[in-house]
Amino acid sequence: MADKAITGEVVKTYAVWDRNIRWFHWINVICVLLLAILGTLILNTEILGVSGGGKILLKELHTYTGYVFFLNLLWRFTWAFVGGRYARWRAILPGGRGYGKALADYIKGLRRGEPPAYLGHNPLGRLMVGMLLLLLLVQGLTGLVLAGTDLYKPPFGSFIATWVTGGEAENLAGLRPGSKAFVDPLAYEEMRRYRKPVVTVHLYCFYTLMVLIVLHITGVVTAEVRERSNLVSALFSGRKTLTKPPLDG
């Protein structure tokens, strides 16, 4: 922690976000951006005139990006058990003793233009992070299922392939994504019925996630301006500066 005076105020700098947190955040940002772009292209292949083979290629790129995204997310969940103070579950999720009062006090301070200072996520930020992590997890899990149903990719692809072909070696060898050749028509239609609610959840979680990301960015910018806590640069350096004592210091 370092102190310095700026325009009569004592500004303190604190080490908050460790390297693991910073790497997770920016890998996640890149993956979500790529997944959103690829997903939007997949949803609009007919309008864009993309061929069947082109759609399969887009789905493969979406899937491989999704693997990186999900592994990164799993690492963040693991780090929430073993990481430092501000990386732990109790510091990033809403709830716990006194959370309701802290949230109410923070909102009151925000309305006055004088929100309380926090080193980690403030109570409103914890609520947003909790919702984002839940949606990211649902997106990851449903995406893994769809990688199996659409492309016969791991971790469920082998099971799906056996299901739609009846397990016949010749059919398994000839099975290709996007083609109904070598499949049992009844088994394939059964699989597609199973797939339908998964697609629906994946799609609407995507829409919800996009809305929350916009709100999240808006909240970060607002907090950056009002609290002068260099939230964005802290996700590169790991260090936050505050002009008043943090409640979670």
Q: CATH no. for residue 54?
A: 1.20.950.20
Residue 228 pLDDT grade (very low, low, confident, very high; cuts 50, 70, 90): low
Where is 30: in which H helix or E strand?
helix 19-43
What pLDDT sits at residue 222? Answer: 79
pLDDT above 50 for 69: yes
What pLDDT sits at residue 6? Answer: 46
Domain assignment of residue 247, yes or no: no
Structural domain total, the chain: 1
**Average pLDDT over the chain, rounded to an integer:** 93
What pLDDT sits at residue 9? Answer: 60
Residue with tokens 């005139």: 49
pLDDT above 80 for 1: no
The residues facing 12 across adjacent strands are 3, 242
Cα of 145 vs its chain's centroid, Å:
17
Instruction: Please choose, from the candidates 30, 21, 143, 31, the residue with its C-alpha nearest in 3D space to the C-alpha of residue 88.
Output: 21
Domain assignment of residue 248, yes or no: no
Domain assignment of residue 213, yes or no: yes
Which domain range does residue 171 map to? 2-242
pLDDT above 70 for 124: yes
Domain assignment of residue 92, yes or no: yes
d(CA 5, CA 243): 9
pLDDT above 70 for 27: yes
Domain assignment of residue 249, yes or no: no
- Across 46-62, b (16+ Cβ under 10 Å) vs e yields eeeebeeeebbebbbbb
pLDDT above 90 for 10: no
Domain assignment of residue 154, yes or no: yes
Overall pTM > 0.75: yes
Domain assignment of residue 231, yes or no: yes
Q: Is 76 exposed, middle or buried (0-12, 13-18, 19+ CB in 10 A)?
A: buried
Domain assignment of residue 52, yes or no: yes
